Amino acid sequence: MPHMSFEPDVLQGFVQRYLDTVAGGTADDVAALYAEDATLEDPVGGGEVHIGRQAIAGFYKGMDGDTEITTELLMFRAGGHEAAFVFAITVGGAMRIEPIEVMTFDGDGKITSMKAYWGPQNITPL
């Protein structure tokens, strides 16, 4: 069985592109980074898993609009075709959240799964 793997720098590039798109793109732009049959769980344990690019675009629709979003990659770890990372996201200058996320990628660099670990205790009012 072939063992698919990316160099750490390449995986970090995928993650940075994702964070840049979350900050500067539309929901459809972000969804386009996902594979057609990808899954998204954010937050993990929230009881809902979004399956497929259309459902994923729906999840990100809340980002569209006038609210300014910034993102910053704080810590990055690579593993095969997976990545784990810590990042900060600020929403409308009102709050900052620092999740840990885990992503898997297919051979084309599309996100096949995303899981975001965070809770109310990881939100800081600004």
Burial classification of residue 12, based on how many CB atoms lie within 10 Å of its CB (0-12 exposed, 13-18 middle, 19 or more buried): middle
Smallest distance from a second copy to CB 103, Å: 11
Smallest distance from a second copy to CB 25, Å: 25
Q: Which is nearer to a second copy, 62 or 80 (CB)?
A: 80
CB atoms within 10 A of CB 107: 10
Beta 34-41 vs 111-117: how paired, if at all?
Answer: parallel
- Mind telling me the catalytic residues? 18, 42
Smallest distance from a second copy to CB 84, Å: 4
Would you tell me which residues interact with a second copy (CB under 8 A)?
3, 5, 8, 43-47, 75, 77-86, 99-100, 102, 115, 117-119, 121-122
CB atoms within 10 A of CB 21: 19
Q: Which is nearer to a second copy, 10 or 32 (CB)?
A: 10
Q: Please state, in angstroms and rounded to a whole number, the distance separating the CA atoms of residues 103 and 85.
A: 9
Q: Which is nearer to a second copy, 25 or 113 (CB)?
A: 113
Q: Please state, in angstroms and rounded to a whole number, the distance separating the CA atoms of residues 18 and 111.
A: 9
